[in-house]
Amino acid sequence: MNYQEFVCAVEKKMNDKMEGGMKANLYRSLRNNGTERMGIMMETKGRNISPTIYLEEFYVRYQKGEKIDDIIKDIMRFWQDAKKQMPGNANDLESFAQIRDRIVFKLINTRQNETLLKDVPSRPFLDLSIVYYVLLDVNLKGTATMLIRKEHLKMWNVKEEDVRNAAEQNAARLLPAEMFTMRQTMDELLCPSMRGQRQNLLTDGAALLRGGTKEEEDGEDFMYVLSNQLRSFGAACIVYPHVLEMVGRIVGEDFCVLPSSVHEVIIVPESYSMEQKEMDEMVTEINATQVADEEVLSNHAYFYERDAKKLILQKYVNC
């Protein structure tokens, strides 16, 4: 079976086991950068929000010879865990007053998300777009979120400005910015629960920069990683008020901002950076080889001018 046939088979077998008004349905989701994922949405009678289970990892197990009935048992257990993590009162999502304090924002690439941006409230930021989501739950396994769409504005009877104001007030409180040296970040990534893909991205970037215009001195850690406390959509920290100003005071000079992914950016002092075009090429190469399509933010570096207190694109970049 190919992946689509596998998902259809899972849907049928799960519905054969469902009781009490529960139902499994196929669900296609348009994700960041035009990527699409197909999974199973588990609907429960009386609940207006249901977890969606994406089955790629389960399909890999099937390809390796695991029986589909055994996989179904694990999917059912996974669903039970996911259901427990959903908000206790899903009806709260129908009220703007109830979810206002949980609205935050993230950055996505404008060109790569033209279709998605037609359906969601957004605000341009350089060649990127700020979009908004509800932070439903945070736990040891990760976060549960809901992207805010224009249909939600109609349901809540609010304007885009109301959502933007809420997100700007909440972001630094719910997802405070944090900056670490590269060495500290690599120590964190050595934890088995972290993804090796992100580790490769950071180490490859560091190695390339060491061959740039200034050699790294023994023991000196000149690169920093900027993200939020959850390491989830932390690239948005570059939009937080005064954050880049504080970064400038820490590094003591103008600096480059390398978009590592939607989850973090790398800060490189200007004196350690390469030529701007070379840095763009490095970012593009690493995005193509080390970053999942859904997590790519941009294919070029940005530059922060401390005196102007402004983040800019290179002049030769056409947005």
pLDDT per residue, tens digit, the chain (319 aa), is: 888 888 889 889 888 887 767 788 888 878 888 888 778 887 766 555 666 777 888 888 999 999 999 998 888 887 776 666 555 555 667 889 999 999 999 999 999 999 999 999 999 999 999 999 999 877 655 677 889 999 999 999 999 999 999 999 999 999 999 998 877 665 555 554 444 444 444 545 544 454 444 444 444 578 899 999 988 999 999 999 999 999 999 999 999 999 989 999 999 999 888 888 888 888 999 888 888 889 999 998 999 999 999 999 864 444 3
pLDDT in tens, 96-116: 999 999 999 999 999 999 999
CA 46 to chain centre: 30
Interatomic CA distance for residues 212 and 17, integer angstroms: 60
C-alpha to C-alpha distance for 164 and 64, rounded to whole angstroms: 46
194/135 Cα distance (integer angstroms): 21
180 contact partners, CB below 8 Å, separation of at least 6: 188, 224, 225
Q: CB under 8 Å to 77, separation ≥6 — which residues?
A: none
**What pLDDT sits at residue 41?**
81
Cβ atoms of 86 and 145 closer than 8 Å: no
Question: Which domains are assigned to the chain?
Answer: 3-86 (3.10.20), 92-173 (no CATH), 177-313 (no CATH)
Angle, helices 276-290/196-210, rounded to nearest 10 degrees: 160
**Spatial separation of the C-alpha atoms in residues 13 and 7, rounded to whole Å:** 10
Query: pLDDT, tens digit, for every residue of 7-46?
Result: 889 889 888 887 767 788 888 878 888 888 778 887 766 5
Instruction: Look up the pTM and report it.
Output: 0.78
Would you say 32 and 294 are in contact if contact means Cβ atoms under 8 Å apart? yes
pLDDT of residue 87: 53
Per the listing, tokens 């996989």 go with: 71
Measured CA to CA, the distance from residue 171 to residue 230 in angstroms comes to 12
